[in-house]
């Protein structure tokens, strides 16, 4: 089983360390049921950071292309990944629970002196890739679709908000 080196999250943040490399899609098991193909690799970089208040964080960058299936036309489609997220490190569950729940605020994770980099990357990918992917406009097998992010759920929200009630 392929795995990346584990890192000490707090040491990483304090010393501004970084780790970069290639991650085979085949090793990202939790993504597999969202993908049409498990081939290829993603490029990643994890960098230790501290914000202006000295709070430790990890900047997680992931780039590459995944193969997904449009759930409307069932065509295999390229899904470009471009993740650049900073997560802040909580030293305990108590510290994590103290963080306000704010969708626009920074993301906090429970950190440790031995963190699995591949798992961090997988977590960010799971947040990035919608569970259901459809083209904004299906074009009979067009292979490129970065509009593939639109989900039926988002369309439904749009319908509901027109008059504030579910449709007739």
* Residues at the site binding Zn ion, with contacts judged by CB under 5 A: 70, 72-73, 135, 138
The span from the CA of 139 to the CA of 57, in Å, is 42
State the nearest-atom distance from the C-beta of 76 to Zn ion, in Å: 10
State the nearest-atom distance from the C-beta of 79 to Zn ion, in Å: 12
State the nearest-atom distance from the C-beta of 120 to Zn ion, in Å: 31
Give the CA angle between residues 83, 84, 88 to the nearest 5°: 120
Q: Tokens 């306000």: give the residue.
A: 100
Cβ proximity to Zn ion: between 32 and 72 the closer is 72
Cβ proximity to Zn ion: between 31 and 138 the closer is 138
Long-range CB pairs of 97-105 (<8 Å, 24+ gap) are: none
Cβ proximity to Zn ion: between 77 and 111 the closer is 77
* Per-residue tokens: 130: 């919608």
């Amino acid at each position: 089983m392929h795995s990346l080196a584990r890192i000490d999250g707090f040491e990483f943040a304090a010393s501004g360390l970084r780790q970069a490399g290639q991650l085979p899609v085949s090793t990202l098991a939790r993504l597999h049921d969202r993908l049409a193909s498990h081939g290829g690799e993603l490029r990643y970089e994890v960098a230790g950071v501290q914000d202006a208040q000295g709070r430790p964080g990890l900047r997680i960058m992931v780039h590459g292309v995944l193969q997904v299936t449009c759930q409307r036309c069932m065509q295999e489609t390229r899904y470009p990944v471009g993740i650049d997220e900073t997560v802040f490190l909580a030293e305990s569950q108590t510290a994590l629970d103290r963080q306000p729940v704010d969708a626009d605020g920074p993301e906090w994770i429970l950190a440790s002196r031995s963190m699995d980099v591949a798992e961090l990357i997988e977590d960010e990918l799971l947040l990035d890739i919608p569970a259901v992917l459809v083209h904004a406009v299906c074009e009979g097998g067009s292979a490129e679709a970065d509009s593939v992010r639109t989900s039926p759920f988002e369309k439904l929200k749009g319908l509901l908000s027109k008059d504030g009630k579910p449709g007739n």
